[in-house]
Amino acid sequence: AQSVTQLDSQVPVFEEAPVELRCNYSSSVSVYLFWYVQYPNQGLQLLLKYLSGSTLVKGINGFEAEFNKSQTSFHLRKPSVHISDTAEYFCAVRKTGTASKLTFGTGTRLQVTL
Amino acid sequence: DAGVIQSPRHEVTEMGQEVTLRCKPISGHDYLFWYRQTMMRGLELLIYFNNNVPIDDSGMPEDRFSAKMPNASFSTLKIQPSEPRDSAVYFCASSFDDRGGEQYFGPGTRLTVT
């Protein structure tokens, strides 16, 4: 089975500052990795995903993430955040191949202030 | 496309009553997922379907929960009888390719059982 750990439940940051949201996963097989964002009272929206190839993945809204297989990590970064980035961010993992579950982390609340 | 459609958006019911949540996936998507989100347990996959057939229902909490997908454009999640601990936000998501395909989430149904 796969598992995801998001160590930081909340990350406060000032506007225009850089941010990193941490995600570590555990799996005995190859996996796909995802970051989703949830704005208040909305469903989840995909930010980016790693399936294969380049370990640096760029997503929407200026976010990027780097897959590090040796450290089993998939940290999310943004060089300069905006107030509108305030939301809950979820890291998720699923094993490659057919018909597999998407396992979510517990989420990190990013709070951007002026 | 209108995206994944869920109804109702909010449901308040009394303990013991039957609750039915509805989902219309994105046209052409052949996978449909039901999730539950609570503060205590985070996001949990309840069940998912492929081509209208339930593939994995191991996340369904107990026999009070049932899900159906009578056709490619409609699914229901039923709770009978409902209990206060069922209070949560229930999300439906769909995707067209399980091999790393993005899951598109609906806006969710906020269920309150009193």
Best residue in A4, A94, A101 for a mutation probing chain B (most B CBs within 10 Å):
A101
**Looking at the partner chain, which of B42, B98, B108 has a beta carbon nearest the beta carbon of A104?**
B42
Return the sign of the alpha-carbon dihedral for residues A6, A8, A12, A13.
negative
* A67–B contact, CB cutoff 8 A: no
pLDDT at A96: 80
Residues of A in contact with B38 (CB under 8 A): none
Indicate the pLDDT class of residue A98, thresholds 50, 70 and 90. low
* Enclosing H/E stretch for B105: strand B104-105
Angle at B101 between CA B95 and CA B107, to 5 degrees: 45
Residues of B in contact with A100 (CB under 8 A): 98
pLDDT at B97: 73
Partner B, chain A 72-91, Cβ-Cβ below 8 Å: 90
What is the nearest CA distance from B81 to chain A, expressed in angstroms? 26
CA A111 to chain centre: 15
Share the mean pLDDT of chain B: 93
- For residue A86, is pLDDT > 70? yes
Sequence-ordered list of residues with C-beta below 8 angstroms from that of B28, at least 6 positions apart, any chain: B96
pLDDT at A102: 84
Cross-chain Cβ contact B56/A101 below 8 Å: yes
Sequence-ordered list of residues with C-beta below 8 angstroms from that of A84, at least 6 positions apart, any chain: A112
Indicate the pLDDT class of residue B77, thresholds 50, 70 and 90. very high
pLDDT at A99: 54
Query: What residues of chain B have any CB closer than 8 angstroms to a CB in chain A?
Result: 4, 33, 42-43, 45, 48, 50, 55-56, 91, 93, 98-100, 102-108
- pLDDT tens for A2-60 read 899 999 999 999 999 999 999 999 988 888 999 999 998 888 999 999 988 899 999 99
- For residue B49, is pLDDT > 60? yes
pLDDT at B27: 93
pLDDT at B100: 67
* A10–B contact, CB cutoff 8 A: no
- pLDDT tens for B84-106 read 999 999 999 998 876 667 889 99
Alpha carbon distances (Å) from B14 to B36, B79, B86: 19, 12, 11
Strand pairing partners for A33?
A: A50, A93
On whether the CB atoms of residues A112 and A18 are closer than 8 A, the answer is no
* A48–B contact, CB cutoff 8 A: no
